[in-house]
Amino acid sequence: MTPYLTPLPPDALRAAGIPAPWAFGQADRVRFYELDALGHVNNTAYLRWFETTRVAWFAEYGISHYRPEDPTFVVRAITCEYRAPMFLNDPYIITARCSGFRTTSFTKEYAVWSGGEIKVAGTAVIVMTDAPGTTKLPLPEEMRAVLVARDGAKPG
């Protein structure tokens, strides 16, 4: 599966002023349909950006769900902290990383960067389940190793 936006390598993130340990990001710009009646980005757009980036992050890290019988991932909780408004055509880079994991879940962090600052930050707790989504499953060791190696995620 090819993501809609091309992931930026870490050196491109550093060149854009995004510090380590952020290792995954995608550049885009604000579109007209993402605005609200006041002319700034609607709150729901940020959650959509998080989801789009999460899917691309999964694909880039080799964690994707491909077949209907494969284990799947469920977003158990998500937060979004608005720090500054964004407007039409504002360029941005959205970054994503795994900060930690437990037996059956992991925590993702997101940040939307524009003009050298974080405009929006968020977190999501994501749980691995069986295909029907009824039973939690332990994260495979290979996945844990990727989360540690690529994002510096911590167990616990």
| pLDDT tens-digit series, residues 21-30 | 999 999 999 9
Model pLDDT, residue 4: 61
* pLDDT tens per residue across span 99-121: 999 999 999 999 999 998 999 99
**Tens of pLDDT, residue by residue, the chain (156 residues):** 444 678 999 999 999 999 999 999 999 999 999 999 999 999 999 999 999 999 999 989 988 766 777 889 999 999 999 999 999 999 999 999 999 999 999 999 999 999 989 999 999 999 999 988 899 999 999 999 999 999 999 998
DSSP line for 77-129: EEEEEE-S--BTT-EEEEEEEEEEE-SSEEEEEEEEEETTEEEEEEEEEEEEE
On whether the CB atoms of residues 90 and 39 are closer than 8 A, the answer is no
CATH 3.40.605.10, domain 7-151, yes or no: no
Place of tokens 């009646």: 37
Give the separation between CA 52 and CA 79, rounded to whole angstroms.
16
- 147: tokens are 């989360």
Confidence (pTM): 0.91
Question: What is the predicted pLDDT for the residue at 29?
Answer: 96
For residue 2, the model assigns a pLDDT of 45
- Is the Cβ–Cβ distance between 117 and 124 less than 8 Å? no
Tell me how far the alpha carbon of residue 48 is from its chain's centroid. 10
- Sequence ranges of the domains in the chain: 7-151
